[in-house]
């Protein structure tokens, strides 16, 4: 399941909970209009731009299992990222050592 994938990557079970936005502001709507339009242009599809009602419907429930599987599959395991960043912070304390 997507939850098991999240656990394998070191994320808590609730990481993808509560993603929906019931009443998006006009600023949020403008942001998502631009995102969807940019995606449409990059993909080269001849489909019509998404309507505001389509965007509002998606914002209410943006989650899908397939999108979450893609996200976990393209991500990095959190413990690995933490380990690497801790090493960078540690060695950044010794600038002469790095030369």
Residue with tokens 């999108």: 67
CA distance 59 to 24: 8
Q: Can you give the pLDDT at residue 98?
A: 63
Helix or strand run (H / E) with residue 25: none
pTM attached to this predicted model: 0.63
Report, as an integer, the average pLDDT of 4-10: 91
Q: Report how far apart the first and last C-alpha atoms of the chain are (Å, whole number).
A: 47
Q: How far apart are CA 62 and CA 9, in angstroms?
A: 21
Q: How many CB atoms lie within 10 A of CB 55?
A: 19
pLDDT at 97 over 80: no
What pLDDT, on the 0 to 100 scale, is given for residue 48? 87
pLDDT digit string, tens, across residues 22-72: 999 999 999 999 999 999 999 887 688 899 999 999 999 898 999 899 989
Gyration radius of the chain over CA positions: 19
The CA distance from 49 to 3, in Å, is: 33
């Amino acid at each position: 399941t997507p939850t098991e994938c999240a656990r394998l990557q070191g994320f808590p079970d609730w990481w993808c909970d509560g993603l929906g936005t019931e009443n998006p502001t006009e600023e949020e709507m403008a942001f998502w209009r631009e995102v969807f339009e940019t995606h449409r242009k990059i993909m080269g599809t001849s489909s019509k731009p998404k309507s505001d009602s389509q965007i509002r419907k998606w914002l209410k429930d943006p989650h899908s299992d397939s999108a979450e599987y893609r996200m976990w599959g393209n991500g990095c395991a959190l413990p690995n990222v933490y380990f690497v960043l801790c090493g960078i912070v540690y060695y950044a304390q010794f600038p002469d050592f790095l030369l």
